[in-house]
Structure 1
Amino acid sequence: MCGRVVRTTPVEALAAAYACPCPDFSLPPDYNVAPGQALPTVLADPLRSLVSARWGLRPVRTAYGRPGPLVFNARSETAAEKPSFRQAMRSRRGLVLVDGFYEWQGSGKQARPWFFRLHQAGPFPVAGVWETVPEENGGSGLAVAILTTSANALLAEVHPRMPVILAPELWARWLDPAAEMGEVLALLRPYPDEGMVGHEVGLAVNDPTCKGAECLDPPEQASLSFPVRR
């Protein structure tokens, strides 16, 4: 499960890098983005654009009529079959742009957070599916869920899952609503571990209100079970 990401690159730079018109919104640097908060996302609907999307699809209502929790991840192996993701997988696919993400090793109070990014620092896209959602002002907005896959060798020591990271040569195919589902599903594979780095971080990231670069600081006594990859 991918439940926290880093978002620091200005949207103007993202628009230029992903061949999108300059957006009409801005997002401040955030080293600890949680579900329910905004993520820059590239769509092709039909023209390529950069939008701000809420992280988390519309909650499913419980048996008591109350909204359930936001659906912020989707398993790539089953997303095309599940009613909640099936239509989005066919025609509403996007590139969710992040600068890194966190995963936790272990569970409960003993869980230790780790930060991962590409070997070459900077923004990169993870596969997402999106939907239109109503807003409180009566208008409509966008919401997105991040697709996950089995962890590569680097992440497997920490967590069994990771977000689907898409290499540049895969972007156009993923965004193409006319692509055959078999072609789309073939893109959803673990990113090569030699192209990534990771290190253990302190517990500041456990607090969703902590937004600064201190979230990336290593703990005072870093674990020796999984060394930093540089």
Structure 2
Amino acid sequence: MCGRNSLVWTDDRSNRFRVPLTNRGGRSRFNVAPSQTMPVIVNDGQVLMVMMAWGLLPHWANSLQGSNCPINARAETLAEKPLFRGLLKQHRCLIPASGFYEWKWAGSRKQPYYFRLNESPLFAFTGLYDVWHGADGNAYPTYTIITTEANELVNPIHNRMPVILRPEDEGRWLTSTPPAPDEMTAILGAYPSEAMEAGPVSPRVNNPTEDDEVLIARVL
């Protein structure tokens, strides 16, 4: 599961994701939690950054309340699950990020760890999105993060990790034509562990209202 992440914007964010300067996506966030609204990159005839809530609400849901809103989707079963199968064809997206958190038991408590890339302060998770429309005519876009089996760095902490896209695959993921099965397998694999680093961080991250740069600093 991927249940927390960070997004630390840099000055070149518009160039990094090739989005218009008017669609930059707000301030840096150090403790992104489900249900919060974050910038997501889609291809709707043009590449745009759109604000969406984390937790997928399908367009056919009866209401905003009481619906199952998965925050993650397993890469291995995307093409089998009715909830994700159609979105995989037409509603693929990029979720900008700088790192993610996972937890490991340490005695009687869970110790959070923060994972990031060695040389890339900004990257993208693969995601799927949908847009629910209320009776008032308002649109409510939401997204889910795709996960895969953990690499050698993440596995001692958790057996799943978010799919991190290589820069050369980001454009392919956003194109109007879905990747072929062999492409999909390659794109949705685990990111190389040697290109990542991890370390224990403050348990303050357990509280989703905490949000400052100290949360991603290594402790111990």
Q: TM exceeds 0.5?
A: yes
Tell me the CA shift for residue 135 of structure 1. Answer: 6.0
CA 1:177–1:24 in 2, change beyond 3 Å: closer, same or farther?
A: closer
Alignment partners' CA distance in 2, 1:142 and 1:102: 24
Whether contact under 8 Å (1:94, 1:129) holds in the other structure is: yes
Amino acid at match of 1:120: E
Instruction: Write the mapping of 1:134-153 to structure 2, written as runs, cut at 5 A.
Output: 134=133, 138-153=137-152
Q: Name 1:190's counterpart in structure 2.
A: 190
Partner of 1:208: 208
Partner residue, 2:170: 171
1:73 pairs with 2:72: yes
User: Do the aligned residues in 1 keep the contact of 2:123 with 2:167 (CA within 8 Å)?
Assistant: no
Residues 180, 31 of structure 1: CA spacing in aligned structure 2 closer, same or farther, 3 A cutoff?
A: closer
Q: Which amino acid aligns with 2:9?
A: T
Matches within 5 A, 1:1-230: 1-9=1-9, 13-24=12-23, 26-58=25-57, 67-106=66-105, 110-134=109-133, 138-182=137-181, 183-219=183-219, 222=220
Give 1:172 deviation, angstroms: 1.7
User: CA–CA distance in 2 between the matches of 1:89 and 1:26?
Assistant: 24
Q: Aligned in 2, Cα 1:167/1:86: closer, same or farther, shift over 3 Å? A: same
1:161 to partner: Cα distance: 0.6
Q: CA deviation at 1:76?
A: 0.4
Kindly indicate whether the alpha-carbon contact (under 8 Å) linking 2:42 and 2:174 is maintained by their aligned counterparts in 1: yes
8 Å Cα contact 1:94-1:175 kept in structure 2: yes
Alignment correspondent of 1:226: none
Structure 1: distance between partners of 2:88 and 2:21? 27
TM-score of the superposed pair, with normalisation by structure 2: 0.88
TM-superposed deviation, 1:136? 8.9
- In 2, the alpha carbon distance for the partners of 1:33 and 1:124 equals 15
For the residue of structure 2 that corresponds to 1:116, the secondary structure is strand
User: Which piece of structure 1 moves more, 97-106 or 21-30?
Assistant: 21-30
Question: Could you say what secondary structure the match of 1:147 adopts?
Answer: strand
Contact (CA 8 Å) 2:172, 2:179: kept in 1 or not?
A: no
1:108-155: CA deviation from partner (whole Å, max 9, x where unpaired): 962211001110141100100011123696411321100000111111
Amino acid at match of 2:178: A
How far apart, in 1, do the equivalents of 2:189 and 2:159 lie?
13
Give the whole-Å Cα distance in 2 for the aligned partners of 1:142 and 1:150.
27
> Is the Cα–Cα contact under 8 Å of residues 3 and 34 in structure 1 kept in the other structure?
yes
Q: Please, what is the CA RMSD of the aligned residues?
A: 2.6
Separation of aligned partners in 2, 1:5 and 1:122: 13
* Counterpart Cα distance in 1 of 2:110 and 2:158: 11
Distance 1:207 1:109 in 2: 18
2:108 and 2:20 map into 1 onto residues whose CA distance is 44
- When residues 195 and 28 of structure 1 are mapped into structure 2, their CA distance, relative to the original with a 3 A threshold, is same
Amino acid at match of 1:56: G
- Secondary structure of 2:153's counterpart equals helix
Aligned length: 217
Whether the 8 Å contact between 2:42 and 2:93 is mirrored in structure 1 is yes
- For structure 1, which runs of at least 5 residues remain unmatched after alignment? 223-230
* TM-score using structure 1 length: 0.85
Give the aligned residue type for 2:145: I
Structure 2 unaligned regions, length at least 5: none
DSSP 3-state at the match of 1:58: coil
